[in-house]
Structure 1
Amino acid sequence: MMTSLQRTLLAAASLIPLLAAVPAARAADADVVAKVGSQSITEGELKLAEADLGEQFGKMPPEQRKLAVLSALIDIKSLAQEAEKAKIGDDPAVKARVAFLRERALHNAYFQKTGVDAITDAELKARYDAEVAKIKPVEEIHARHILVKTKDEALAVIKELDGGADFMTLAASKSSGPTGPEGGDLGFFGPGQMVPPFEKAAYALPVGTYTKEPVETQFGWHVIQVTEKRPQPQPAFDQVKEQVRQVVMREKYMEIVQKAREALKVEYVDPAMKGQVEAMEKAMSEGAVAPDGAAPAGAAPAPAQ
């Protein structure tokens, strides 16, 4: 079950540039592992290729994956050398592509150095504590139920309970739901997780009591018992640490980019593009467009079965 904190983190996080982890340079990275004509492939270059191409071979065992990446790198260098001989590198489209990839690599490396690498565990813990402090406590309940097809059957169950019958025993013998063998146990659930009539009846019950009138839903007729109520526990820091990191990374990225943009002059020369940007900025300022990281629509409530 997603907690309030997890929903908050999901809403705050959004896509940020994907950064391939670049291993720290070591003496061993200079070791030559293969040659393609006059060019050498070093251990460090192989690591870079594995970070970029590794997902293509993700299901392979580590050693096989490394050889597959090496083979791919040999293919790249082989064709690249042929392209140089054919002067393909002088093509304007190729030059533009190379320039774009260089700028993208510099962009990622700068954010890695000034943003990602600057994040400390203390900063993440402080952000986690701040998010937890802002969350309004949500009550969740632990309930059991007995599901039957008709109202008369449900009334008969209630009569037996009134006579002292054990709820779990009746659930095991009479409930048509999949939780019957477990005594009708539904575990803990919070608001929005059950269909509305079931949730309303369950939350209205004091702990240790059961519904004196059957509750009808699209699944049939329910007799509900509430065994416990408690504040919904928030996940421990270690459980959501990486989610918190994504939120902090996104904020740092926005700060770094904004600072860089302000230091330069950004001008939209194309009139149509300029108009679209201005319209988008206006819509966002008026709240007509959800900002990046807006939470997705909530999932449909779970059935009470």
Structure 2
Amino acid sequence: MQVGRLISSVVLAAALTLGACGRKADKAGPPEPGDQAVASVGGETVWASDVRREAVGEGLIAEGAPLEVSSEPFHRALDEVVDQKLLAAEAVRRGLDKDPAVERRLAAARERVLGDMLVEAMVQKAANDSAVKGLYQEQLKLAKQAEEFHARQIVLASQAEADAVRKLIAAGGSFEALALQRSTDTATKFNGGDLGYFTAEVMPAAYAAALKPAKAGQVIGPFKAEAGWVVLKLEDRRPEAPISLEQARPQIVRFLTYDEVRALIERLRGQSQVKLLIGPVQGGGREPGSAPMITPASALSQRKTP
């Protein structure tokens, strides 16, 4: 554990230790339904949920990912939790919790935990399955549907070579075989020049201009591009499939959460007396409490192609 994170973890553990004074965690029962006791430190139970939370904080697992109690990451996080509790308890024994500077840090840690818990509660309320599905369908209707092309290419060094290849194709030559034999593009020549499915905006302008009026099965070119002279074969064109609900869900949840939290912060600031005692950021800067806007439409624009 890094020193900075160790200090922060000990402060947080001490705050929670002080909050638990006068009660026994063992008697309180599991903090979550189905929780499992995995250790005891000074008579205080360490629960599996405590360890999972630490594992997420350490970056050992992603939020919501499973973590088996028999796994190596679980035991690594468990060691961290035990160490934090031991250090926090020793700090309290030495009376460090009475130091004014420590008291301020403990108060800040408590505020951070309370704020995080409020956000978590708001996420569960605002980003429920019904809200996510509703916003997904709403944005799906508004999303601009693009078109996908499936094409093959043969890239050549000169127009004369490209014209010769085009004549061979017109005479019945195999596009795939000619791509392997003649194309200078090493990224596609070995798979018959296959570019897969793509949208016009991700391709160079010359490709987009050549493909847009073409029909499936048509051979196009040659035309000049940055890589050389190009002959294309348009295999297929189809409406672009939007990203699925499950793929869009994380960004939609972020949007719903941000929107809810932003509204709450604006309301709380309006109801409270907040007065800054320093000047504004030199050279401008964003307004207090502002953040980059997240839009669900941006999630739907992350298209999935085969």
Q: TM-score range by the shorter chain?
A: 0.7 to 0.9
Contact 2:122 2:261 survives alignment (8 Å): no
Report if aligned partners of 2:55, 2:74 keep a CA contact under 8 Å in 1.
no
Conservation of the 8 A alpha-carbon contact between 1:32 and 1:41: no
Q: How big is each residue's C-alpha offset from its partner over 1:9-62, in whole Å with a ceiling of 9 and x where there is no partner? A: xxxxxxxxxxxxxx9524865x58323xxx323143x52243034554828974
Q: Does 1:34 align with 2:40?
A: yes
Q: Is the 8 A contact 1:54 1:65 kept in 2?
A: no
Match status 1:182 vs 2:191: yes
Aligned to 1:286: none
Contact 2:146–2:199 (CA under 8 A) maintained in structure 1: yes
Q: TM-score, normalised by structure 2?
A: 0.73
Amino acid at match of 1:41: E
Is the alpha carbon distance of 1:182 and 1:28 closer, same or farther for their aligned partners in structure 2, counting shifts above 3 Å?
closer
Q: Which structure exhibits the higher relative contact order, with contacts defined as CA atoms closer than 8 Å and separated by 6 or more residues?
A: 1
Q: How does 1:223-242 map to 2 (within 5 A)?
A: 223-242=231-250
Deviation, structure 1 residue 277: 9.4
How far has the Cα of 1:125 moved from its partner? 0.8
**Which residue number in structure 1 is paired with residue 281 of structure 2?**
276
Tell me the residue number matched to 1:259: 267
Shift of 1:190: 0.7
2:164 corresponds to which residue? 156
CA deviation map 1:165-206 (0-9, x unaligned): 232332233223232232211111113212222222222433
Match of 2:191, as an amino acid? E
CA drift at 1:83: 2.0
Paired position in structure 1 for 2:12: none
- CA-to-partner distance for each residue in 1:86-111, whole Å, 9 max, x for gaps? 32222222111111110111111112
Instruction: Return closer, same or farther for 1:54/1:141 CA change in 2, 3 Å cut-off.
Output: closer
Cα RMSD, aligned residues only: 3.2
Distance (whole Å) between structure 2 residues aligned to residue 24 and residue 117 of structure 1 = 20
Residues 250 and 77 of structure 1, relative CA distance in 2, 3 Å threshold: same
5+ residue gaps, structure 2:
1-29, 62-66, 299-306
Residue 25 (structure 1) aligned with residue 27 (structure 2): no
Provide the rounded CA distance (Å) in 2 between the counterparts of 1:57 and 1:208: 49
Q: For residues 68 and 188 of structure 1, do their structure 2 counterparts lie closer, same or farther at Cα, with a shift above 3 Å needed?
A: closer
SS of structure 2 residue aligned to 1:155: helix
Q: Report whether the alignment pairs 1:205 with 2:214.
A: yes
Equivalence for 2:52: 50
Name stretches of at least 5 consecutive residues in structure 1 with no aligned partner.
Answer: 1-22, 283-288, 296-305
Is residue 202–residue 225 contact of structure 1 (8 Å, CA) maintained in 2?
A: no
- Report the Cα distance in structure 2 between the residues aligned to 1:156 and 1:278, rounded to whole angstroms: 61
Cα distance in structure 1, aligned partners of 2:38 and 2:235? 67
Larger mean CA deviation between 259-268 and 223-232 belongs to: 259-268
The structural deviation recorded for 1:155 is 0.9
Rounded to whole Å, the distance in 1 between the matches of 2:156 and 2:38 is: 72
- Report the AA paired with residue 130 of structure 2: A
Task: Evaluate the alpha carbon distance shift between residue 268 and residue 142 of structure 1 in structure 2; reply closer, same or farther with a 3 A threshold.
Answer: same
Q: Closer, same or farther in 2 for the Cα pair 1:277/1:98, shift >3 Å?
A: farther
